[in-house]
Amino acid sequence: MKKLIFLVIPVIIFHFIPLYCGELKLQLGTESGIMNSDESSARTVLRLLGRFNYQQPTSKGALSVKIRITPEGYYANQNRYILRHNADIAYNLPQSKSAWKFCLSAKNQVYALSSSDEFVQNVLITEGKYNKFLRENLTFCTGLSFVIRTMHSAPSQKLTAVQLTPGMEFGISKHSSFKTIIYLESFDIKGNERKNFGWRFGPQIIFQSKNISIFNICYQLIFTDNSQQKKIFPEQHIDVLWGRPFYKKWAVFFYINYYLLHEYDPDVLPEIVYTPINTQNWIYIQLGYDITRRIELYNRNGYFYEEVRYGAQKIEGWQTLLGFNISF
């Protein structure tokens, strides 16, 4: 019932808030297909997509509200599912030579990927971002985030963290930029009356280009030092997106999102092990066709892997999907 209410609220707002209050956008979609994995025979995959975007200009800036709901089902001999609910509120405050952005993000994720109990993860993130334009093609950027995450399963865990991301952005051309960031995080974990605390730090580089084609690449190397382990463990994350339209209504996209995590240490109790908030791994190619200005049809083929808390829950396999999106 709660999930149904979450879906209906954006529709009610869309119909009853006057348009002069701001810009409202609603997008609905679905995708389904087959996933093959080593664990079992072919599974039927079904994903639903609901997006609600609202933007309200103000005298000094702009307010935006985004709600995203993506339930997923994997059906075979043993039904598995994932429920994802995301809500984001952001306020942009541009100035002559600088810009501020304040964000509040909430995530609810429910995993039922094995015969064990459901795994529920709730995340709340408050973030402030600041950009200072030093000179043409050179910008200082920084962000400060406060994170609270709770995991409800056997065993349960609560994570609190503070993240700082200072960096510099260099404008290469009118359509491309290069950014370097230093990632710093202090975290504290509590679970079953036990504690773990430590630091995460490392570099991040981002290249973005948008002209006729889109090409974005992000690489991050993070080292984790905590009170439960003597070694400092590295993690890597790479994110690559390339896309290009052709023949007016057609577009092709290639995407890689890969996390290389360090191996789980069995000497550390699972309730105080640090795990990243997002561990989805994707590699796929997608072909899309715009039937109209508001309706898109696409085919996606690729590999999907997600592991929650070092194997407590995981799902993987090759997927072939057909989907569509409708924008209002």
Q: What is the pLDDT of residues 245-285, one digit of tens each?
A: 998 899 999 999 999 887 766 677 777 888 888 888 999 99
Contact 206/181 with Cβ under 8 angstroms? Answer: yes
Map tokens 């094995």 to a residue.
Answer: 114
The model's pLDDT over 94-103, given as tens digits with 9 standing for 90+, comes to: 888 889 999 9
| pLDDT tier for residue 133 given thresholds of 50, 70 and 90 | very high
The residues, any chain, with a CB within 8 Å of residue 318's CB and separated by 6 or more, are 35, 36, 37, 301, 302, 303, 304
C-alpha to C-alpha distances, 52 to 32, 62, 198, 203, nearest whole angstrom: 21, 17, 37, 34
What's the pTM value of the predicted model, to 2 decimals? 0.84
Count of structural domains within the chain: 1
Instruction: State residue 85's pLDDT score.
Output: 87
* Mean pLDDT, range 33-39, rounded to an integer: 77
Residue 217 predicted with pLDDT over 90: yes
Nearest to 225 by CA among 246, 208, 202, 243: 202
Window from 89-98, 267-276, 307-316 with minimum mean pLDDT: 307-316
List the structure tokens of 288. 């899309």
Q: Is the pLDDT of residue 110 over 90?
A: no
The rounded percent of the chain whose pLDDT value lies above 70 is: 86
Is residue 84 a contact partner of residue 115, using CB atoms and an 8 Å limit? no
Q: Which of 36-45, 121-130, 217-226 has the lowest mean pLDDT?
A: 36-45
Q: Rounded CA gap, 133 and 142, in Å? A: 12
Query: CATH code at 288?
Result: 2.40.160.40
Residue 7 has pLDDT above 50, yes or no: no
Contact (Cβ atoms closer than 8 angstroms) between residue 216 and residue 244: no
Average pLDDT, the chain: 85
DSSP state letters, 184-199: EEEEEEEETTEEEEEE
| pLDDT tier at 118, thresholds 50, 70, 90 | confident
Q: In this predicted model, which residue has the larger pLDDT, 251 or 58?
A: 251
Give the residue numbers spanning the domain of 167: 2-327
Structure tokens at 89: 């509120």
Q: Is the peptide bond before 155 cis (omega within 30 degrees of 0)?
A: yes
> In DSSP terms, which residues pair with 198 in a beta bridge?
187, 226
